[in-house]
Chains A and B, each alone.
Chain A
Amino acid sequence: MRCLCYPVFVLLLAGCASYVGQTGAFRGAWNSGSIEQAAQLATRQANQRSESRDAVIWFLEQGAALRATGQFAASNQAFEQAENRIRFYDRQASVRLSKEATGLLTNLAALPYEGRGYDRVMLNTYQALNYLQLGQADAALVELRQAHAEQDAEVVRNARRIVAARKSAGEYERTIRRAKLNELQPDIALDYGAFVNPFTDFLHALCLWNLDTDDRENALVSLRRIHSTLGGSEFLASEIRFVDRLLGGAKHSDLTYVIFETGVAPIRREVRLDVPLRHEKVRYVAASFPRLERRGRSAPAHVAIGETRYDATLICNMDAVVGRDFRTGLPAVIFRTLAASATKAAVAKKAKEESGDLGAIAGFLYQAAGAQADLRTWTTLPKEFRVCRVETPDDRRLTLLVGPQKSEVTVNTGRVNVVCVKSFAPGTPLKIQQFRLK
């Protein structure tokens, strides 16, 4: 009778398709620039999975897709649902150990997706951009302040996650600590620091000196911080001088900031490793881990006015942001994965001892089906954010260039305007949105 339980459990586990599999059609539509279709697919999935462990990730995908189609209010609703779920999980932090125990018996993909550090920051950033499109400047500033706070709060949360993962490893904790898995470390060319997103800081600074009369000086704090993070970019040095003059009372001509969102952020692929544990019960385990995989190449972006071209400066490389987040969270992932694999190996061994060959088969299937890495990641995030500031020409016409893609826009009236340009696959048109800041 007991043997029958194993295959049933195995079947239940096998029903969990990986996130890469789940998102295939959606990613295909998104990457080819079929954003309407992508938004429909994401909305369908988000509705179907609104109560599931994947709810947060699908609300994030839905929010980004709806934003791209220009449905800003609906996009913010999706982001709010993601945010509410994330807060719910945060409130449950005190019972995290029992959830860790669930992870030990199944796999990490079976745990609810609670939102990674950069998800939380980008969630607030996109909400802010949506509110700016909707003309709700105060709400945008609230979101940006929250994004700012999230960057600090995530450092504390990550430390807690590592402690919880270590505790959950129980008897395997000491042996796992000795395991070295350097092949999982992402290659990070740029290191902005833990959970820092320079684009969010830049947008916050832009909004502060344009919108908020009380907090305007803080724009310079943010700009100085990004300048130092990015290693002394000339564009940011000039922006600091420029904003400093404006805050001192200098006047300026009409300005347009063009924000380019290009490419796609990395995804996670599964890699299976044999790890010697040297534990008395389990000598070694075969475990599945996530590994970051970059997608596409960096694309230069420019703004042209007549014959003059202005280069857009790289403000945030999301590969670096995601990579840093991945690296920071890796100790917890390794602890949880190896502890889960060791626990399952011990269960399988016991099944074999108690039920002979049938138990051995069930144990093998249980280990195989349960060994699934958590590959969930926000796939609609861009690869890069680039920014260019130009004086708005008299005819207000700008030519926008991303690699070989080209498009024109007539900037709305206003002292300071923002044009958001999103590029997809080469050959697909650029998606252009704009709003007035001042």
Chain B
Amino acid sequence: MKPLIKLITAATLPALMLGCATARYIDHDGRDSIVNVGQINTQDWIRAADELTQSLLLSGTINSVAGKPKVMMIGRIKNNTNQHIDTDSLMKKIRVALNKGGRALTTTAVGLDGPEDESSKAVRELRADDEFNQATIPGKGNLISPDYSLSGKIIQNNARAKRGLLPTIKQSEFAFQLSMTDLKTGLAVWEEEKLIVKQGSRAAVSW
């Protein structure tokens, strides 16, 4: 009996191991995603963006008037974590949701450090160029100034604790804070904070 068990184990174990090592596609927000305690993972961006968008939409702050969506610019999103992150991972998802819902459009022609997309400006520089049909070049006064700006901050707090002989437990708390400012009045008309707290001793898959 024992040799048989050994044989079966020897035959199946490599196959199981290979199965684990093979690359595969997974749902980006599903339970198979890898979870790192000290990092913001894809599913964290998705969760934070979803919850913040829901909060913004439910607040009624940016109801379109007569079907005309409001115009929003993206302000500064401070990264107060200890890792390099692309804050677009958060902002893009919020922008897409607002855009698809018809509540707000984002201007790419205005930004704190100049326009996000230089094309609006570049095309206007063709006004003096005879090679271009001037009727196809946007006239003056067409660009739309934003009604609101969206700004915020991402904060990270770390903690660790040792429980007896168990491995050290690490905890990371990520706070996603956003504010929407009415640019006419300078007042913050909506503010929200979403917390994501993760705990563990090492990276794991979330099941």
Chain A contact residues, CB within 8 Å of chain B: 148, 213-218, 220-222, 224-225, 247-249
**Closest CB-CB distance, A252 to chain B, in whole Å?**
12
- List, in ascending order, chain A residues with CB within 8 A of B116's CB: 213
Q: Are A221 and B81 in contact (CB under 8 A)?
A: yes
A218 to B81, CA, bound (A): 9
Known: A220-B79, A247-B76, A248-B76. A214 touches B88 (CB 8 A): yes
A221 is contacted by which of B77, B84, B88, B111 (Cβ under 8 Å)?
Answer: B84
- List, in ascending order, chain B residues with CB within 8 A of A249's CB: 76, 112-113
B79 is contacted by which of A221, A225, A248 (Cβ under 8 Å)?
Answer: A221
18 contacts between A and B (CB under 8 A): A213-B114, A214-B88, A215-B84, A216-B113, A217-B77, A217-B79, A217-B87, A218-B79, A220-B78, A220-B79, A221-B79, A221-B81, A221-B83, A222-B84, A224-B82, A247-B112, A248-B112, A249-B113
A225 to B81, CA, bound (A): 11
**Closest CB-CB distance, B19 to chain A, in whole Å?**
19
Q: Are B84 and A218 in contact (CB under 8 A)?
A: yes
Chain B 2-18 interface mask (CB, 8 Å, partner A; 1/0): 00000000000000000
A216 to B87, CA, bound (A): 10
Q: Are B113 and A221 in contact (CB under 8 A)?
A: no
Q: Are A148 and B113 in contact (CB under 8 A)?
A: no
**Closest CB-CB distance, A250 to chain B, in whole Å?**
10
List residues 79-135 of chain B with CB under 8 A from any CB of chain A.
Answer: 79, 81-88, 111-114, 116
**Closest CB-CB distance, A245 to chain B, in whole Å?**
11
**Closest CB-CB distance, A240 to chain B, in whole Å?**
12
A216 to B114, CA, bound (A): 13
Q: Are B85 and A218 in contact (CB under 8 A)?
A: yes
Q: Are B84 and A214 in contact (CB under 8 A)?
A: no
User: B interface, how many residues as a size bin?
Assistant: 10 to 19
- List, in ascending order, chain A residues with CB within 8 A of B83's CB: 221
Q: Are A214 and B86 in contact (CB under 8 A)?
A: yes
- Most chain B beta carbons < 10 A, residue from A217, A220, A249: A217
**Closest CB-CB distance, A415 to chain B, in whole Å?**
12
- List, in ascending order, chain B residues with CB within 8 A of A148's CB: 84
A247 to B81, CA, bound (A): 16
Q: Are A217 and B82 in contact (CB under 8 A)?
A: no
Closest to A222 in B: B84
Chain B contact residues, CB within 8 Å of chain A: 76-79, 81-88, 111-114, 116
**Closest CB-CB distance, A86 to chain B, in whole Å?**
23
Q: Are B76 and A225 in contact (CB under 8 A)?
A: no
- List, in ascending order, chain A residues with CB within 8 A of B79's CB: 217-218, 220-221
- List, in ascending order, chain B residues with CB within 8 A of A248's CB: 76, 112
Q: A213-B113, A217-B78, A218-B84 are in contact. List 7 more A-B contacts (CB 8 A).
A: A213-B114, A214-B88, A217-B76, A217-B77, A218-B85, A221-B82, A221-B84
- List, in ascending order, chain A residues with CB within 8 A of B112's CB: 247-249
**Closest CB-CB distance, B150 to chain A, in whole Å?**
15
A335 to B87, CA, bound (A): 45
A249 to B82, CA, bound (A): 22
**Closest CB-CB distance, B56 to chain A, in whole Å?**
21
A225 to B84, CA, bound (A): 11
Closest to B118 in A: A213
A361 to B134, CA, bound (A): 93
Closest to B78 in A: A217
Q: Are B82 and A215 in contact (CB under 8 A)?
A: no
A225 to B113, CA, bound (A): 24
- List, in ascending order, chain A residues with CB within 8 A of B76's CB: 217, 247-249
**Closest CB-CB distance, B159 to chain A, in whole Å?**
18
A221 to B85, CA, bound (A): 9
Closest to A215 in B: B86
A148 to B84, CA, bound (A): 10
- List, in ascending order, chain A residues with CB within 8 A of B88's CB: 214
- List, in ascending order, chain A residues with CB within 8 A of B113's CB: 213, 216, 247, 249
- List, in ascending order, chain A residues with CB within 8 A of B111's CB: 213
Q: Are A225 and B82 in contact (CB under 8 A)?
A: yes
Closest to A217 in B: B79
A216 to B74, CA, bound (A): 14
**Closest CB-CB distance, B157 to chain A, in whole Å?**
14
- Most chain A beta carbons < 10 A, residue from B76, B84, B114: B84
**Closest CB-CB distance, B5 to chain A, in whole Å?**
29
Closest to A248 in B: B76
- List, in ascending order, chain B residues with CB within 8 A of A218's CB: 79, 84-85
- List, in ascending order, chain A residues with CB within 8 A of B84's CB: 148, 215, 218, 221-222
**Closest CB-CB distance, B149 to chain A, in whole Å?**
11
A430 to B179, CA, bound (A): 51
**Closest CB-CB distance, A330 to chain B, in whole Å?**
25
- List, in ascending order, chain B residues with CB within 8 A of A221's CB: 79, 81-84
A215 to B77, CA, bound (A): 10
**Closest CB-CB distance, B116 to chain A, in whole Å?**
7
